[in-house]
Structure 1
Amino acid sequence: MYFGILGLGLLPIVIGILCGKRFHWYETLISVFFLILTFGGPKLTQGFALIAYLIYEVLLVWCYTKYRKKNNNTGVFVSAVILAIIPLVIVKLTPAIQNGKQSIIGFLGISYLTFKAVQTIMESRDGVLKAFNPWFFLQFLVFFPTISSGPIDRYRRFKRDYDRVPKQGKYLQLLQKGLHNIFKGFIYKYMLAYVFGTMLLPKLEHQALMAHGLSWSLVGVMYVYSMYLFFDFAGYSLFAVGTSYFMGIETPMNFNSPFKSRNIKDFWNRWHMTLSFWFRDYIYMRLVFFFMKHKVFKSPKTTANVTYILNMTIMGFWHGVTWYYVTYGILHGAALVVNDWWLRYKKSHRGQIPHNKFTEVFATFITFNFVCFTFLLFSGFLNKMIMMK
């Protein structure tokens, strides 16, 4: 039903672009329609929260960009960033403070909209965002294929696609890729994720709970949950990217065969890439710059290592204020530190450490198993086992 409505809704956009025209008014209309479809009915409260949030963020970013044209005070910039993330912080902290109760200002996708708002403020501060249009910024925020779970686009990249009409040959390629991504996403989300998440995972979880500790069933949960998480999330991302292509917007891909990664840094260049790159550009790099500017640490290696831990710990807190999310982040930060040390060690002992097909496969095996173990933590299942003892 949903895909039928989506196809009908996209048809005028496809015809328009093939004819060399872009109907921005219709694209706005279709986004509003699908937002109503998403946040209507039982989710009406979330819909009102979304409207209030959009008004708040658009006004905030608009005010800061107007201020930035004439002034560049660090305190004002930091205040703007804090104000932009306050709604998200409230939403994330409320369940931890009120015994699992969700915040009334929360809605599906608030994290991804916050990332867009913060990056726009930061790019305005950096001076790379020369012109800001509040109406377009609203279009950027509510672009319906990506609003709930990403991928996270960038303001200037999105604007380039939004302002131009792709040439017919280029657009036909986008349509082909879009159809391929949607079909692949269907297989991922509704077939493979179903097998792992609905058919296999509950049985293994039940067996693991009955075993009361380390068991082969728990190992099975670790691998099956990892597969489920990938196919479910990657499937949704492929839907979002494919739909975007039909609208002439080349939304960046979110996954690139992450389980083939040879080390943890390679993994984060392949897994949830738009989130990973967002944290790299807007948290990691800025923390490194701050620490080096103020000479907080003497060694660049120490600076990088501390920032890895901080960056990934923040990512853990972003997922939720629980011990298992935070531990997940810390472990990945520590793994990045170890990975950098190992790469430096290999470089200084070049010729002494073998590098061949076997070592590459072994590195992939180690990385895959480490990632699956951290996903087991991330799932919260270990917490469930502890609570049942």
Structure 2
Amino acid sequence: MLSFTPYENPAYFGLLGIALLPTIIGLLCGKKFHWYETLISLFFLVLTFGGPKLEQGYALIAYLIYEVALVWLYTNYRKKQNQTPVFVGAVMLAILPLVIVKVTPALQAGQQSLIGFLGISYLTFKAVQTIMESRDGVLKDFNPWFFLQFLVFFPTISSGPIDRYRRFRRDYEQVPSTDKYLNLLQKGVHNIFMGFVYKYMLAYVFGTLLLPKLEHQALMAHGMSWSLVGVMYVYSMYLFFDFAGYSLFAIGTSYFMGIEKPINFNAPFKSHNIKEFWNRWHMTLSFWFRDYIYMRLVFFLMKHKVFKSPKTTANVTYVINMTIMGFWHGVTWYYITYGILHGVALVVNDWWLRYKKKHQHQLPHNKFTEVFATFVTFNFVCFTFLLFSGFLNTMMTMK
């Protein structure tokens, strides 16, 4: 049985083009074939989780049964009652499979969990946010079959972008006007071509041609070297172009299906500060953490008056929020340190913005200071990406 990782094989794009053709023709004629979309979703899920990844496929099926049943039970409960312990229990149960998958390698010497599969994080984010929106009362019309469609929407199943239930449902059920769909097709083609440039040209240059050579030189140097500096910058470029390229493929494919998925990257290396960076980098993940962890934790701490100062509340929550993000990437010191550093940087950034506002007449603001702020932000981000890569850990273990 054939097996393809999404957007990693030219044959995948050929099959994608053939499979999407009836959908495109239907939308141009003002019709949506939901039954056909279900069939091609199933087809591409089999391609992704078949063959050598069949165990992941079984794990995916078990996971979907578990999450759909859990969310369906909670939404039915929420129509009658709204007790906090039940809500917390539902959220904890929803993230339990992901926690097991993330913790298992740390507890079993790198061995992967049997219940893990490609994209489990992004499906979990969707399940948790659906529970939270049900709790808030903004999601009142829950449909288990549609929720399943929402979870396994094949263009974005492996790495996002992370969509919202109500936004996705609006696009899923509505047929866009001809003018709007032609615009979506135009943007979809543009995204696909830019995805090829990003992932198969630029990411290839940085990740395949340059990075291994620089890593080898840095390892031979046994410490600080210009090669290590090169690794820092080249890995950062590779990480961006590879992930942004994937996101462009996923969004472009969604556009062809009449689903206007949110963008994931918006020139993040142009950011003037770290907060702006997180409003531009992996945006759907950043906004998910902001809306479903940061804001709720701030509300909880302020409601229970844990800290007297709102600034202290915000600062503590920044660090907790980003530390959780670090743990989400994996239970290793370099992922966790990466998260903590970004949390602290957000605290420093807020302090600096308040200080600058208070002393705006004393501090210069011009083109040079903007370029300098971008330079500092860029280098900080690249340094933390070097930590994130795990390469420093490799260097330490080889000494």
RMSD: 0.3
What corresponds to 2:173 in structure 1? 163
Say whether 1:97 aligns with 2:107. yes
What corresponds to 1:270 in structure 2? 280
What corresponds to 2:294 in structure 1? 284
Alignment equivalent of 2:16, drawn from 6, 11, 24: 6
User: What is the deviation of 1:337?
Assistant: 0.1
What corresponds to 2:310 in structure 1? 300
User: What is the deviation of 1:140?
Assistant: 0.1
Instruction: Report the AA paired with residue 228 of structure 1.
Output: Y
User: What is the deviation of 1:117?
Assistant: 0.1
Alignment equivalent of 1:106, drawn from 116, 119, 125: 116
Say whether 1:59 aligns with 2:87. no
User: What is the deviation of 1:241?
Assistant: 0.1
Alignment equivalent of 2:186, drawn from 170, 173, 176: 176
User: What is the deviation of 1:257?
Assistant: 0.2
The SS at the match of 1:105 is coil
What corresponds to 2:239 in structure 1? 229
Partners of 2:136 and 2:270 in 1: CA distance: 36
What corresponds to 1:388 in structure 2? 398
Instruction: Report the AA paired with residue 166 of structure 2.
Output: R
Equivalence map 1:1-389=2 (5 Å)? 1-389=11-399
Percent identity over the alignment is 85
Partners of 1:363 and 1:107 in 2: CA distance: 40
What corresponds to 2:5 in structure 1? none
User: What is the deviation of 1:2?
Assistant: 1.2
User: What is the deviation of 1:353?
Assistant: 0.3
User: What is the deviation of 1:350?
Assistant: 1.6
Partners of 2:282 and 2:348 in 1: CA distance: 21
Partners of 1:337 and 1:167 in 2: CA distance: 45
Partners of 1:198 and 1:22 in 2: CA distance: 41
User: What is the deviation of 1:382?
Assistant: 0.2
The SS at the match of 2:163 is coil
Give TM-score scaled by structure 2 length: 0.97
Instruction: Report the AA paired with residue 244 of structure 1.
Output: S
Partners of 1:294 and 1:89 in 2: CA distance: 27
The SS at the match of 2:76 is helix
Partners of 1:253 and 1:32 in 2: CA distance: 25
In structure 1, runs of 5+ residues without a counterpart are none
The SS at the match of 1:234 is helix
User: What is the deviation of 1:130?
Assistant: 1.4
Partners of 1:298 and 1:387 in 2: CA distance: 44
User: What is the deviation of 1:73?
Assistant: 0.4
The SS at the match of 1:332 is helix
Partners of 1:292 and 1:251 in 2: CA distance: 34
Partners of 1:357 and 1:28 in 2: CA distance: 52
Cα offsets for 1:163-198 (capped at 9, x unmatched)? 100000100000000000000001100110000000
Partners of 2:347 and 2:249 in 1: CA distance: 34
Give TM-score scaled by structure 1 length: 1.00
Instruction: Report the AA paired with residue 131 of structure 2.
Output: I
Instruction: Report the AA paired with residue 119 of structure 2.
Output: G
Partners of 2:101 and 2:13 in 1: CA distance: 31
Partners of 1:334 and 1:315 in 2: CA distance: 13
User: What is the deviation of 1:84?
Assistant: 0.1
Cα offsets for 1:135-186 (capped at 9, x unmatched)? 0000000000000000000000000000100000100000000000000001
Cα offsets for 1:69-111 (capped at 9, x unmatched)? 0100000000000000000000000000000000000000000
Instruction: Report the AA paired with residue 24 of structure 2.
Output: V
The SS at the match of 1:248 is coil
The SS at the match of 2:331 is coil
The SS at the match of 2:184 is helix
Partners of 1:130 and 1:37 in 2: CA distance: 34
In structure 2, runs of 5+ residues without a counterpart are 1-10
Partners of 1:95 and 1:206 in 2: CA distance: 26
